[in-house]
C-alpha cells in the first residue's frame, strides 16, 4: 500500500466509523446551537447588542463544541488496538495522524461552518461581516483540531483526561481567538482585515507543519 493510499484509507475509515455512530456527530452541533441560542435569552432581545457580540458568541461556542468532540480523536483506536498498528506501520505516523485530524475536522467543524450562516442571520449580523467570520472560522477551526490532537495524545492513557485536556489546550487557543475576533471587529468598523487574516493563515501553516509530528511523538510516549 502506497503512502497516499494509506492516507486516504485512514480518512475513509474514520468517516465510515462516524457514519455508523451518527448519533455521536449530533452532540457537538447541538451543543453549538444551544450555547448560541442561550445568549439572546440571557442578554435580552437588544438587536444592536446581539449584532455587536454575535461574532464572539459564535467563536466561543464553536471552540467549546470542538473541544467537546476532541477527546474521541484517538480514544477508540487506543481501545481496540488500531493505534498500535498505526505506530508499527511502515508509513510515517505523523502523516497518518494528519489523516485522522482531517477526518476529525470534517466531522466536527464542517457542520458548525454550515450552521454558522443561519446562526449569524438569527443574531442580526451583516452579510459582509458574516463572510469575514466564516473566513476566520475556516482558517481557525483546523488549528483547533491540530493543537487539540497533541493534548489528546498526551492524555490518552489517563482515565479522566477531559478536564486536563481543556487546561492544556485553552491557553493555546487564545492567540487564534484574538486575531479572529480582531478581524471581525475590523470588518465591523470598516478597517482593513488583511493583517489579522494573514496571522491566522500563518498560525494554520505553522500548526499544520509541526503538530502532526509532535502528536506522533506524544502517541508513541503514551503507548510506551
Q: What is the pLDDT of residues 48-81, one digit of tens each?
A: 888 888 888 899 898 888 888 887 788 778 877 7
pLDDT at 101 over 70: yes
pTM of the model: 0.89
> Where in the sequence is the domain holding 136, given as residue range(s)?
3-223
Please answer whether residues 152 and 165 qualify as being in contact, where contact means their C-beta atoms are separated by less than 8 angstroms: yes
Name the residue with higher pLDDT: 90 or 158: 90
Which one, of 2, 31, 29, lies nearest residue 18 by Cα?
29
Cell of 34: 444551544
Q: What is the DSSP letter of 72?
A: G
How far apart CA 165 and CA 160 sit, in angstroms, is 9
Please answer whether residues 72 and 24 qualify as being in contact, where contact means their C-beta atoms are separated by less than 8 angstroms: yes
Quickly state the pLDDT bin for 198 (edges 50, 70, 90).
Answer: very high
* 31-41: average pLDDT: 86
Cell of 47: 438587536
Q: What is the DSSP letter of 21?
A: T
pLDDT at 199 over 90: yes
Name the residue with higher pLDDT: 223 or 95: 95
What integer pLDDT is reported at residue 1 of this predicted model?
A: 66
Domain count, the chain: 1
Which one, of 180, 168, 198, lies nearest residue 57 by Cα?
180
Please answer whether residues 145 and 108 qualify as being in contact, where contact means their C-beta atoms are separated by less than 8 angstroms: yes
Q: What is the DSSP letter of 171?
A: H
Amino acid at each position: 500500500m502506497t503512502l497516499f493510499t494509506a492516507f486516504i484509507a485512514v480518512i475513509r475509515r474514520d468517516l465510515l466509523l462516524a457514519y455508523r455512530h451518527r448519533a455521536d456527530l449530533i452532540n457537538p452541533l447541538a451543543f453549538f446551537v444551544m450555547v448560541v441560542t442561550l445568549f439572546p435569552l440571557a442578554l435580552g432581545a437588544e438587536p444592536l447588542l446581539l449584532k455587536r457580540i454575535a461574532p464572539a458568541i459564535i467563536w466561543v461556542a464553536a471552540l467549546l463544541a470542538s473541544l467537546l468532540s476532541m477527546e474521541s480523536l484517538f480514544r477508540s483506536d487506543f481501545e481496540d488496538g488500531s493505534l498500535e498498528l498505526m505506530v508499527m506501520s511502515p508509513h510515517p505516523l505523523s502523516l497518518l495522524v494528519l489523516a485522522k485530524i482531517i477526518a476529525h475536522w470534517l466531522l466536527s467543524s464542517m457542520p458548525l461552518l454550515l450552521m454558522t450562516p443561519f446562526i449569524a442571520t438569527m443574531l442580526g449580523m451583516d452579510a459582509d461581516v458574516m463572510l469575514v467570520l466564516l473566513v476566520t472560522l475556516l482558517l481557525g477551526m483546523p488549528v483547533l483540531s491540530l493543537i487539540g490532537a497533541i493534548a489528546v495524545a498526551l492524555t490518552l492513557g489517563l482515565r479522566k483526561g477531559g478536564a486536563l485536556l481543556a487546561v492544556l489546550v485553552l491557553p493555546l487557543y487564545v492567540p487564534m481567538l484574538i486575531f479572529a475576533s480582531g478581524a471581525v471587529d475590523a470588518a465591523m468598523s470598516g478597517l482593513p482585515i488583511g493583517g489579522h487574516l494573514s496571522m491566522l493563515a500563518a498560525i494554520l501553516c505553522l500548526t499544520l507543519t509541526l503538530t502532526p509530528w509532535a502528536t506522533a511523538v506524544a502517541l508513541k510516549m503514551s503507548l510506551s
